[in-house]
Chain A
């Protein structure tokens, strides 16, 4: 544990060598100035105070000089304090920021399948509390390093003075390290537990606040609070366990240097009696231990925080080392013209789960519209995710213009295809930001054009700041249908060559949907469309229908063909009609 903790420190120093040097230099100079200060005190007493007291008069100039020297030393110490503190603090904050950037970059590059397995709250905790914990010992580090320099100097000085008194130091300093090692070993599991519980509390809080509406409408506030309290209590217990050990360690660590001072006093008196040392030497050594007592604690602060640091570091590293990236290839795509999407014997399963798609094959020919139809849970959304490569198939392949999706570069893939997911996700940004996503070549005119196409221009024009209106976190200030139209406009704005609509008009009223479909239809046939749909009108627009049952393609053909050939399909798409007919009969 100690070794691993020191490794984290070593890594931190190598990452920020300049700031560390400033901090350590400041700290070492500070130490020297502290020692210098005591020498000056001694000199003043010997050379100024004693003569003045015995002569009964004092020279004003000398007194002014003394005052100036003390103030000057004080000023120098302030300078070194700035160096030490700012060096250490900046180093700590920069490391935190660096690792927060690294961790959040991993979040962005890890695939959706990884995200599904990790609670948002836990990921928040990784990026915040764990990163913070990893670099906690950095703050006192330069001070501690300066102290180590001081200790070595002190031990050398001790040996030069008297070997017996030096033994006190020889026993004391290793004892400090031994105590720390013992402490770190005992503390480590407790700190790991505390960091785990921190993440757990964060996860439960995030999930619960995320589902606040359901909690409210079901009146489950009390039960949610109870559920939260279980984890809070565990966190509390783990922090008390940490605190109890610290409560034992801190006072013992504090008293060790004092024990050294007392030993020096006793041994000093004895050595003095036997004439081995002088009074001045004993005083110097005793003073040395008194002066060192405080800085030595800085070493304790560093070592004492190592277990927490390692616990946080490991959790951060787990994110950084997570695998499963869907790496992009380097192939480019054609710039214009509708794309061809082909599924070729695709199998897919989520994680270790059962297959949700078996041997799925179909083609969306250029410029054509293909409708995916199937009951709830038949695998339509999974196909939509595969089509834009949010996931890769377990077997078989998906190609765009005959290039397998994994071979395409990020720009080629995302430039060619656009997905409008079933649940609209709106960023905490303005309407404009949500539509352009800062993609190239999207000016205000193209934003308005896209809004018009998605039938969103009407309500956006009525917003207080039009397209500059901030929509709030996840678009809370908009209605469900409005959010959906914003996401639709986002997809249309990029002029994709392949548009994938995953039941993307479900929350939109029929009339609006009809209008959107009409505008899609009348577009300059620049896109191939894969659309997940239930509505007859949408399906009727499609050149071809792919009908799914439980993850298998049961039939492919035109709507009329399938209607005649497949009773399951007919049941599904004519459900409303039938229901109405039955109602009329009854």
Chain B
């Protein structure tokens, strides 16, 4: 969490939410009118009592009626202005906050995979939900109060000055220490409310894990352990909330002590002034009334300022995400398109390491011709998946360069890259929608007919026919209504309809049965002929049918060539892998 001040956050936030600006002047004008009406009532009471009810020669009913009528009109105008003001404020602020949610959401997607993984999903969700909610809730409740209280404070100070500038200075001086304490506390409040927001994110992460892992938790009978962890995160949030509250009440009560000090000082100084003949009893009484008027908004403002810290803490967390510069960046306008036609691949002395980690891929230097089918094999953890991620620019190499048909990947526009290069990851994530909708994710314009023929072309029509509602079968949350193998089939069709020139398969059929896989493999070979395919494979059946096999071991390319040749390299890693594969399948 950044430790900038409240006003810095607000300034940064306003700069990033231009939607807040239009009509602000009008809103403020209406707020001033509303405040005016609010102040009118206590002044009317004071005037009505002083000059009407306590008028010399008995109560002046006419004067009182006039004051009341006038104030009534002012009150009605103020109420109307209040209505119009809040209407405008809520419309503008909710519009701005909605835009902020959308912008943050988009920004999180634009962050690199590494950035995304460095933060828990629950925490990311909290940035577009509960953190923004705090700002919204504050604006709809405390924000208006704070605005009105500030206005009331200003108006009552002016009126006090009119009555007695000396006593006004006394009042302001009496509040001096309180103001200093409150200011001093703002920084601490920012920290404690920041902790509240942070722990909310952590709690959401813990809840998300318990929900997503519910099956494992149940299967192992370890609900007790998860409960304990959830309780800890829930309690840590509660403790942070209580700490924030204690800090906030301490800050608030300094305002209350300021009020006591002001009252005492005004009476003492007022009496001393009166003794010298500089003040009448009536004037002092009226002034005490005004001090009460002054104290009320000070208390409200202090209170709302504290609440504002919670909203500011939420705002800051959102802004902190927006400030994260995506490290795998879309070159956008300055980017180039990929050359037309099938794509060739070139890895130029590529090395990769995760931040702070050891090298996972070292000095990979190779070229893959266009239209070839390449299999990448190697033990688990050898760097195969990293190879695929670099090839599709989910990550950038630490050293070296990846080029497609001679064009450096870093310079290619994402729009061009993602439409020409598609990867099917190990875990073929599906959205909670129908099969058809999940496939249309890749290409929204496809008709049902086209979807069906895609299944047909991949030899999956029979499988599709077994689904209860065919294309319209809902796949459930994360696709869980389908089996893992079925999810992979849908993910593969999804990639196929995207019609890429370079298709990268990262163990995309690992959970599919052998017969289906072989069928699928053949179908793919036919339909992807003329394109470049890179398949990360753990089943060597894929490698056998590839034009070329690349063997990765401990982050280095140790062998490459066609299957038939590699098998004959005695004692080689591939020969061992193949022997083991034969043992498995025979």
Contacts and interface: CB of A to CB of B under 8 A. Distances in A.
B216 A421 contact: yes
Interface string A159-170: 000000000000
Interface residues of B, number: 194
A100 B49 contact: no
B586 A577 contact: yes
A273 B61 CA distance: 8
Contacts of A111: 218
Interface in B16-74: 34, 37-38, 41-42, 44-45, 48-49, 52-54, 58-61, 64-65, 67-68, 71-72
Contacts, number: 546
A575 B246 contact: no
The SS class assigned to the A binding surface is helix
Interface stretch (A150-158, A279-287, A393-401): A279-287
B256 A77 contact: yes
Nearest to A328: B221
Nearest to B433: A207
A428 B130 contact: no
B53 A272 contact: yes
- Pairs A-B, 5 closest by C-beta atoms: A74-B260, A219-B418, A481-B380, A414-B221, A243-B90
Contacts of B130: 128-129
B85 to A, nearest CB: 8
A575 B509 CA distance: 14
Interface residues of A, number: 184
Given A100-B234, A251-B78, A415-B221, A479 B381 contact: yes
Contacts of A127: 204, 207
B59 A272 contact: yes
A250 B144 contact: yes
Contacts of B372: none
B212 interface: yes
A407 interface: no
A417 B504 CA distance: 38
B394 interface: yes
Interface stretch (B103-111, B159-167, B186-194, B341-349): B103-111
Contact of B242 (A89, A233, A301, A380): A89
B442 interface: yes
Contacts of B478: 207, 210
A514 B583 contact: yes
Q: Which of A201, A223, A262, A269 has most B Cβ within 10 Å?
A: A269
A438 interface: yes
Given A414-B220, A507-B426, A534-B513, A377 B418 contact: no
B425 A213 contact: yes
Contacts of B442: 218, 220
A286 B86 contact: no
Contact of B260 (A73, A108, A537): A73
Contact of B432 (A74, A119, A270, A418): A119
Interface string A322-365: 00000000000000000000000000001001100000000000
A388 B468 CA distance: 26
A78 B538 contact: no
15 contacts: A41-B288, A66-B268, A111-B218, A212-B109, A217-B423, A221-B106, A247-B83, A254-B38, A254-B82, A262-B72, A279-B54, A419-B219, A437-B222, A506-B538, A575-B515
A149 interface: no
Nearest to B241: A93
Contact of B252 (A81, A219, A579): A81
Given A236-B97, A265-B67, A481-B380, A246 B86 contact: yes
B129 A202 contact: yes
A128 B204 contact: yes
Contacts of B129: 124-125, 128-129, 198, 201-202, 205
Nearest to B429: A211
A583 interface: yes
B411 interface: no
A514 B584 contact: yes
A474 B427 CA distance: 12
B208 to A, nearest CB: 6
